[in-house]
Amino acid sequence: MSDLDAKLIKMGEQIVSNCSFSNDQEVVIAKVADHLQRFWDPRMRTAIKKNLNDNPDAASDVLKNAVNQLTT
Amino acid sequence: MNVEFYKRFGPELDLGTPKVEADKSVSLKIDGAEIHVPEGTSVMRAAGLAGIQIPKLCASEDLEAFGSCRLCLVEIEGRKGYPASCTTNVEEGMVVKTQTERISSLRRNVMELYISDHPLDCLTCPTNGDCQLQDMAGVVGLRDVRYGYEGENHLQAEKDESGSYFTFDPSKCIVCSRCVRACEEQQGTFALTIQGRGFESKVAASQDEAFKDSECVSCGACVKACPTATLTEKTVIEFGIPETATVTTCAYCGVGCSFRAEMQGDRLVRMIPNRDGHANHGHSCIKGRFAFGYSTHPDRITKPMIRDSIRDPWQEVSWEEALSHAATRFKDIQKEYGVKSIGGITSSRCTNEETFLVQKLIRGAFGNNNVDTCARVCHSPTGYGLKTTLGESAGTQQFDSVMQADTIIVMGANPTDAHPVFASQMKRRLRQGANLIVIDPRRIDLVDGPHVKADHHLQLKPGTNVAVLNSLAHTIIDEGLENEEYIQDRCEREAYETWRDFVALPENSPEALEKETGVPATEIRAAARLYANVENGAIYYGLGVTEHSQGSTTVMGIANLAMVTGNVGRAGVGVNPLRGQNNVQGACDMGSFPHELPGYRHVSDGTVRAMFEKEWQVTLDPEPGFRIPNMFDYAVEGSFKGMYIQGEDMAQSDPDTQHVTKALMSMECVVVQDIFLNETSKYAHVFLPGSSFLEKNGTFTNAERRISPVRKVMEPLAGKEDWEVTVALSNAMGYKMDYSHPSEIMDEIARLTPTFTGVSYEKLDRLGSIQWPCNEEAPEGTPTMHIDEFGRGKGFFAPTPYVATDERSTRKFPLLLTTGRILSQYNVGAQTRRTENNEYHGEDRLEIHPADAEVRGIKQDAWVGIQSRAGETVMRADITERVQPGVVYTTFHFPESGANVVTTDNSDWATNCPEYKVTAVQAYPVSQPSEWQRNFKAYSKEQAELVSKRKRDDKAKA
């Protein structure tokens, strides 16, 4: 995994940690996905999506599910 | 367009005593003229308002009446004697005479005494023509001094020239106390005093020390107040009295002080703080008042330059060639690597109009949203946090609001160093009795100053801001201190209850978090009570809040605290971000973020986009672009290839310097537009000479949302104002821009931005400044926001879970480094390092606690190495208890210090604002510079040679 791919996962997990307030996992996933959709350049979204497809163990379930909800 | 933006300003009138606000009006007669003034007005001021100037020496509109010079005597019908008009207030029906035979005689006698101990060297005196003593001698008709000059006097008193910017000549002093009162009332430093009694009375700095060695902070208030040549600017001594003045806005910090730029032709002689300035009310600091010499420093580059490789010598070329070269390079890169392979940075030091144009250039000409600004690395979490909770990405108050605050919280800010003019106002309120809570890992001056003391200093461990805020909120809920009526009326109920239940959890109690934060629970609880139990609680915060991995969460935590106590929506309260650079607020307002168009509207909003597309005649990208750190990451990765950087020195200011320089070196075309060849320009292929704030027209927006005019007082040294360069670059790229004056750009901003629809240069000229929102609902602006409802409707209590940063002390890196600023230097120091301010702070130092220094064998002033996982640098040690054990601190004003070689790529979760404030480091004694510093020195030398060897083109006149 490249340094950049690792950094994107780290940034994604930070978002997960700071959005993990609700006990409802779906709410958290939606919030993380919304944040990524609104603030990340599509190239970053595409990169993390591809990376997590290739390395499914590299991120939490919440992040993986959120990334899967991204439109790009 | 008929814009009176170049208007000239006459002499600053001084009505002698401060303006009074009162509901009741009083009628009186002065010299036969009927006048109505607010109750509480002095007779002197009332006369001045009627156009009658009563002679005065010790009185000034900037200071409280003192009544010592006895020159302003008047006669009042029915009263005995001759009261001083400055200390006598008007009364209904009062009949005043300001000129009678008797009064004239008394005034002449007074002047006679003054002049008997004053040098008669008016013709060679530096303030000849600008001396109130001289004026008054003329006004009272002084023709003779009967006492002679031979007796004992002060004419041989020694001159103090120790100060960098002004001299103190006691032989010319009349001991009127104006300087002493200015230091007390305006600045709040109390550095000056009248020492001795009777004939021995004299003005002294601290314990009769030289000014430079005293507590004096060189704010210049005493110099402005002095009615003689006793305290005089060195520039006035050198050049003489200014001939003209233009009101403009300071280009240093986010206070945005208004100044009179006083000129001789196109030479700036001095900057005098403008009494009518709405942000500063006639006060200033050492930077804005004196540190303007950089603007004509020999280091200024005034001709455009290009080079193919960063190892090639520069070549001076014409503007046309430089712009054509840059445009061609950018277009070629886009052709080869795609539309999104380039981007740009707007400057928080440039005007609103200039930042607006740069983001328009990037969205319109570049065709993408790869635009960001240095707010990314300072206050981007403010934008996110306040937008989320309150609905508007800006502070809620005006500075004057602090005068109605009962408890003030200062969190992660050091106003006496970074926002000194506002700090003076805050200190004035504190001396009146307001409570103060400081939340900071370091003991800043406000904590324990000689005249101001914090009631509580919550000296938290770096990185635990959110935990502290949660424990304060817990106390408020736990002890029933919340404002239930306000919350019910003004806030989203469900979100509040969710947040309330969260902060009420036992794990958020001060007792539970005490170990994590390092703040005793009793202190937290007492502070929470002090904030929640007063009528008006106000929070001021700075980069110690935002520059953390939880910067945005902390901002939201602050907003939550204000809402739960009902402290938003009126004067005296609020959430107030203290902005670092002069136009950080404006740069954010102008759409400098990659996800937002001007006015904080998301690029994905089709309706908004359509409005801009129609105005700009271009199709806009609906997706967010890269932020600054993303641009660097993708430059290193290889797909981001070119950047247009206006007025920002990222190679010095951004974290993890070695990553930044690697990124810059990875790009094929870096275009830097700046007034100096800064650190970033060492990696540039095109250099476009910038214009200083004195060389252009435009507006800055300060930390209180105040839009203030920036007026050109001299022609741009390079021939173009910065906005003209962006226009030319856009046209060279093939995207048409056509403006003849920045007022037209502001008109476009007003057409496109709902919070600016009422802003125009005509209105700015008329009102002096405007706080946005300025529109149909608020035609003259909005001093206080969220009065009846929040910008988003109901206030939103955002969840604030505490997530510890990854930057924690370890065995390898046991100390936590935090960074900040100092009074005399500004940001990367590009401006202040090229002034005499260096005499006050000539290098960055590492502050370390005595205990940490001792165990490491680190001595005062000795070289110390600082290493983090990102890099290593060396600076000298300053052993001090200002920092707590386990914490070290430094500033970042000097490039060779390499403070940001040590800071890491850790950043705020929501905005990627770097975590400058927490870096795990080790410190140790060393005997030589670090490897980075040796490389830096060698590369800087090489680049300096490439500049000195540049191919000159005398025809390449700007």
Write out chain B residues lying below 8 Å of A18, CB-based: 550, 552-553, 801, 803, 909-910
Check pLDDT > 60 for residue B957: no
Is residue B927 within 8 Å of residue B863, measured between CB atoms? yes
**Is residue B665 domain-resident?**
yes
Write out chain B residues lying below 8 Å of A31, CB-based: none
- B702 with B756, same domain: the answer is yes
B639 → chain A, closest CA residue: A43
Neighbours of B881 (CB within 10 A): 11
- B876 with B893, same domain: the answer is yes
Give the percent of chain B with pLDDT over 90.
97
Is residue B741 within 8 Å of residue B697, measured between CB atoms? yes
Q: Which of B351, B220, B322, B325 is nearest to B712 (CA)?
A: B351
- B870 with B831, same domain: the answer is yes
CATH number assigned to the domain comprising residue B530: 3.40.228.10
Residue whose structure tokens are 């200002």 = B882
Check pLDDT > 50 for residue B543: yes
The band of B226, judged by pLDDT with boundaries at 50, 70 and 90, is very high
Q: What is the pLDDT of residues B377-394, one digit of tens each?
A: 999 999 999 999 999 999
Answer with the one of B543, B577, B611 that is the final residue of a domain.
B577
**How confident is the model at residue B958, as a pLDDT?**
44
Q: How far apart are CA B815 and CA B856, in angstroms?
A: 12
Q: What is the pLDDT of residues B174-187, one digit of tens each?
A: 999 999 999 999 99
CA B97 to chain centre: 45
Helix axes B628-637, B657-666, angle to 10 degrees: 60
How wide is the angle at C-alpha B550 spanned by C-alphas B549 and B551, nearest 5°?
95
Nearest C-alpha of chain A: how many angstroms from B546? Answer: 15
Q: What is the DSSP string of B214-238?
A: SS-----HHHHH-SSSSEEEHHHHH
Token output for B921: 């480091």
Token output for B916: 């400058």
Query: In angstroms, how far is the first alpha carbon of chain B from the final one?
Result: 27
B602 → chain A, closest CA residue: A38
Q: Do B910 and A43 touch (CB under 8 A)?
A: no
Q: In sequence order, which ranges of B654-753 are alpha helices (DSSP H)?
A: 657-666, 722-733, 742-752
Is residue B159 within 8 Å of residue B168, measured between CB atoms? yes
Check pLDDT > 80 for residue B673: yes
Q: Do A18 and B340 touch (CB under 8 A)?
A: no
**Backbone CA torsion sign across B815, B818, B822, B825:** positive
Write out chain B residues lying below 8 Å of A44, CB-based: 630
ipTM of this predicted structure:
0.98
**Segments forming the whole domain that contains residue B855:** 815-944
Output the CA–CA distances (angstroms, integers) from residue B532 to B108, B800, B946, in the order listed: 58, 19, 61
**Is residue B774 domain-resident?**
no
**How confident is the model at residue B9, as a pLDDT?**
64
The band of B6, judged by pLDDT with boundaries at 50, 70 and 90, is very low
- Tell me which amino acid residue B695 is: E
Token output for B441: 């890992």
Q: Is B300 on the interface with A (CB under 8 A)?
A: no
The band of B149, judged by pLDDT with boundaries at 50, 70 and 90, is confident
Burial class (CB in 10 A: 0-12, 13-18, 19+), B77: exposed
Q: Which of B57, B60, B94, B92 is nearest to B72 (CA)?
A: B57
**How confident is the model at residue B767, as a pLDDT?**
96
A28 → chain B, closest CA residue: B799
Write out chain A residues lying below 8 Å of B340, CB-based: 41, 43
Classified as helix, coil or strand, B410 is strand
User: Where in B320-398 does DSSP place strands (E)?
Assistant: 342-346, 371-373
Q: How far apart are CA B839 and CA B162, in angstroms?
A: 11
Write out chain A residues lying below 8 Å of B388, CB-based: none
How wide is the angle at C-alpha B475 spanned by C-alphas B472 and B480, nearest 5°?
135
**How confident is the model at residue B954, as a pLDDT?**
66
In this complex, the residue of B637, B639, B799 whose CB is nearest that of residue A21 is: B799
Average pLDDT over residues B32-54: 97
Is residue B537 within 8 Å of residue B405, measured between CB atoms? yes
In this complex, the residue of A4, A18, A38 whose CB is nearest that of residue B595 is: A38
Token output for B723: 């906005």
Rounded to 5 degrees, φ, ψ at B532 are: -80, -25
**Segments forming the whole domain that contains residue A49:** 3-68
The band of A23, judged by pLDDT with boundaries at 50, 70 and 90, is confident
Check pLDDT > 70 for residue B788: yes
Average pLDDT over residues B641-666: 97
Check pLDDT > 60 for residue B1: no
Is residue B679 within 8 Å of residue B731, measured between CB atoms? no
The H or E element spanning position B204 is strand B202-205
Q: How many domains does chain A have?
A: 1
Token output for B180: 């002493």
The band of B898, judged by pLDDT with boundaries at 50, 70 and 90, is very high
Sequence-ordered list of residues with C-beta below 8 angstroms from that of B399, at least 6 positions apart, any chain: B255, B279, B422, B425, B703, B704
CA Rg, chain A, in Å? 11
Query: In angstroms, how far is the first alpha carbon of chain A from the final one?
Result: 21
CATH number assigned to the domain comprising residue B654: 3.40.50.740
**Is residue B681 domain-resident?**
yes
Q: What is the pLDDT of residues B50-102, one digit of tens each?
A: 999 999 999 999 999 999 999 999 999 999 999 999 999 999 999 999 999 99
Rounded to 5 degrees, φ, ψ at B852 are: -65, -35
The band of A21, judged by pLDDT with boundaries at 50, 70 and 90, is confident
Q: How many domains does chain B have?
A: 3
Q: What is the pLDDT of residues B688-743, one digit of tens each?
A: 999 999 999 999 999 999 999 999 999 999 999 999 999 999 999 999 999 999 99
CATH number assigned to the domain comprising residue B906: 2.40.40.20
- B397 with B374, same domain: the answer is no
- B689 with B829, same domain: the answer is no
Q: Is B869 on the interface with A (CB under 8 A)?
A: no
Answer with the one of B562, B577, B592 that is the final residue of a domain.
B577
Token output for A18: 């700071």
Nearest C-alpha of chain B: how many angstroms from A37? Answer: 9
Q: In sequence order, which ranges of B672-797 are alpha helices (DSSP H)?
A: 722-733, 742-752, 761-767
**How confident is the model at residue B148, as a pLDDT?**
82
Check pLDDT > 80 for residue B875: yes
**How confident is the model at residue B840, as a pLDDT?**
94
